[in-house]
Amino acid sequence: MTSIYAAAFFCATLILLNLVSIGIAMVRTRLKMRPAPTPAPAPGVSLVRPVCGLDNFCEETLGSSFSLDYPLYEIIFCVARGSDPAAPLVRRLIAAHPQVPARLIVGDEKVSANPKLNNCVRGWDAAKHDYIVLADSNVMMPKDYIQRLLAGFGPTTGLVCSMPLGSRPQNLWAELECAFLNTFEARWQYAAAGVAGGFAQGKNMMWRRQVLEAGGGIRALAAEIAEDAASTKLVRAQGLTVDLVDRPFEQPLGRRSLSDVWMRQLRWARMRRKTFPLHYAPEIFAGAALPCLVAAYGAHALDAGAPGILGAAVLMVLLWHIPEMVLARTAGWHFSWRMPLMLILRDLMLPIMYVDAWFVDNFTWRGNEMSVREEPTAHGG
């Protein structure tokens, strides 16, 4: 009976932690219909957007930079090579919106093995305001984008971030990516921020210039293979916190392949394992696969037979995923009749990714072969 009690206690504990994390996310993401107010006085803000190739909805996401309801901001687009297919699009957008200060910087600075960071360095150097946002090209910026980031700053805040919120999937695998991005990754990031301190997410990062400069400047982010991991450590070293916006910003997905989703999640897992191994270790408990196995073992120990074992696993799936579905609906995130199946598929994939991340170091990002074993580049290297 001891093993049965242990299995029951294990499953009950994980269900409770799952519910707590979902509750934290529900509080942070409750729907707010009114736009965030503009602070008075409104500080100037520089948006630095690195571009590389043409993503789904690229014209719409980059174009959203020009429609912000904010009185004082500039846009700095950065591209590593003038031959990049995104460069003509950026130039057209700049020409079509002469009322917004914007420019395109061509050419990167090799400070690290991270091509995105290399692409941002000259944009950071050119920014003229004290609040600087590093935002990926596939982020959809709502009209109150800047206000929502500014609202995240408190007395001890060094950096405000938003994780990507998957939206507008156009096939099954894009919905699988929503299952990863939304009710799993975004939810657990909110939970971590509420319990152990926030972690930076490189999709949207608003800096106060003096914080990053005090830590060595943007070139100091070359200390880690992932600029968001380096950002987290730099901010915490100053006794400050990484805080999250209350409502994540959308990343419209369009069509995805299973390979796209799989490789992206593997890349993120390998980088988390490399940069925060002690925080990565308990991720094996974050999905439903392990509690389902333990519940099935408990039913087997009770001699419940095949129907009882299957019933125990199904009960765990329902107790685990129904609250996730409630979170998606109450937060206004993407949800369809296929999402319950995508949640199950995601949780079957998670243990494989978890093990892979401990043993594999290499990955490909936008055609660049990279490894989490690469030595960080010295500041300004």
pLDDT one-digit tens code per residue, 144-184: 999 999 999 999 999 999 999 999 999 999 999 999 999 99
Domain end (from 257, 287, 307): 257
- pLDDT for the residue 365: 62
Cis before 41? omega within 30: yes
Residue 296 clears pLDDT 80, i.e. is over it: yes
Select the more confidently predicted residue: 371 or 134: 134
> Does residue 97 sit in the same domain as residue 243?
yes
pLDDT at 144: 95
CB-based contact 224:275 (threshold 8 Å) = yes
138 shares a domain with 205 = yes
Integer angstrom CA distances of residue 272 from 133, 187, 281, 282, 375: 23, 16, 10, 12, 16
φ/ψ of 269, rounded to 5, equals -65, -45
In a domain, residue 32? The reply is no
Which CATH number does the domain housing residue 119 bear? 3.90.550.10
Amino acid at 146: I
370 band by pLDDT with thresholds 50, 70 and 90: low
Question: Do residues 21 and 44 share a domain?
Answer: no
- On whether residue 377 sits in a domain, the answer given is no
Neighbours of 56 (CB within 10 A): 16
- Residue span of the structural domain in which 94 resides: 39-257
179 shares its domain with 123: yes
Using one digit for the tens of pLDDT, what is the confidence trace for 33-48?
A: 677 888 889 999 999 9
User: Do 138 and 216 sit in the same domain of this protein?
Assistant: yes
Residues 181, 206: one domain?
A: yes
pLDDT at residue 380 is higher than 60: no
Give domain status of residue 106, yes or no: yes
Quick one: 309 and 355 in the same domain? yes
- Model pTM score: 0.91
pLDDT tier, 303 (very low <50, low <70, confident <90, very high otherwise): confident
Do 19 and 118 reside in the same domain of the chain? Answer: no
For 91-119, what is each residue's pLDDT tens digit?
Answer: 999 999 999 999 999 999 999 889 999 99
Mean pLDDT, residues 371-377 taken together: 58
321 part of a folded domain: yes
- Burial class from Cβ neighbours inside 10 Å (0-12, 13-18, 19+) for residue 2 reads exposed
Query: Do 200 and 159 contact (CB within 8 A), yes or no?
Result: yes
**Residue 380 is assigned to a structural domain of this protein:** no
Mean pLDDT rounded to a whole number for the chain: 91
- pLDDT for 104 equals 97
Helix/strand/coil (H/E/C) assignment for every residue in the chain? CHHHHHHHHHHHHHHHHHHHHHHHHHHHHCCCCCCCCCCCCCCCEEEEEEECCCCCCHHHHHHHHHHCCCCCEEEEEEECCCCCCHHHHHHHHHHHCCCCCEEEEECCCCCCCCHHHHHHHHHHHHCCCCEEEEECCCCCCCCCHHHHHHCCCCCCEEEEEECEEEEEECCHHHHHHHHHHHHHHHHHHHHHHHHCCCCCCCCEEEEEHHHHHHCCCHHHHHHCCCHHHHHHHHHHHCCCEEEECCCCEEEEEECCCHHHHHHHHHHHHHHHHHHCHHHHHHHHHCCCHHHHHHHHHHHHHCCCHHHHHHHHHHHHHHHHHHHHHHHHHHHCCCCCCCHHHHHHHHHHHHHHHHHHHHHCCEEEECCEEEECCCCCCCCCC
Residues 270-289: tens digit of each pLDDT: 999 999 999 899 999 999 99
Give how many domains the chain has, as a whole number: 2
Based on the fold, state whether residues 91 and 59 are members of the same structural domain: yes
| pLDDT for residue 194 | 81
**Residue 374 belongs to some domain of the structure:** no
Per-residue confidence (pLDDT) for residue 379, from 0 to 100: 42
- 223 shares its domain with 290: no
Quick one: pLDDT at residue 321? Answer: 97
pLDDT for the residue 215 = 95
**pLDDT higher than 90, residue 32:** no
Residue 309: CB atoms within 10 A of its CB come to: 18
CB atoms closer than 10 angstroms to residue 83:
8
Is the residue at 230 inside a domain? yes
Query: How far is residue 100's CA from residue 145's CA, in Å, rounded to a whole number?
Result: 15
Q: Is residue 173 part of a domain?
A: yes
Structure tokens, 21: 């994390």
Question: Above pLDDT 90, what percent of the chain?
Answer: 78
Domain end (from 203, 225, 257): 257
Query: Which pLDDT score, from 0 to 100, does residue 36 have?
Result: 83
On whether both 76 and 203 belong to a single domain, the answer is yes
My answer on whether 68 and 116 are in the same domain is yes
The tens digit of pLDDT for each residue in 332-346 reads 999 999 999 999 999
Task: Provide the percentage of residues in the chain whose pLDDT is more than 70.
Answer: 94
| Structure tokens that stand for 301 in this block | 């120990």
Separation CA 119–CA 101 (nearest Å) = 20
Per-residue pLDDT of 48-65, as tens digits, reads 999 999 989 999 999 999
* Cα torsion angle, 51, 56, 59, 65, sign: negative
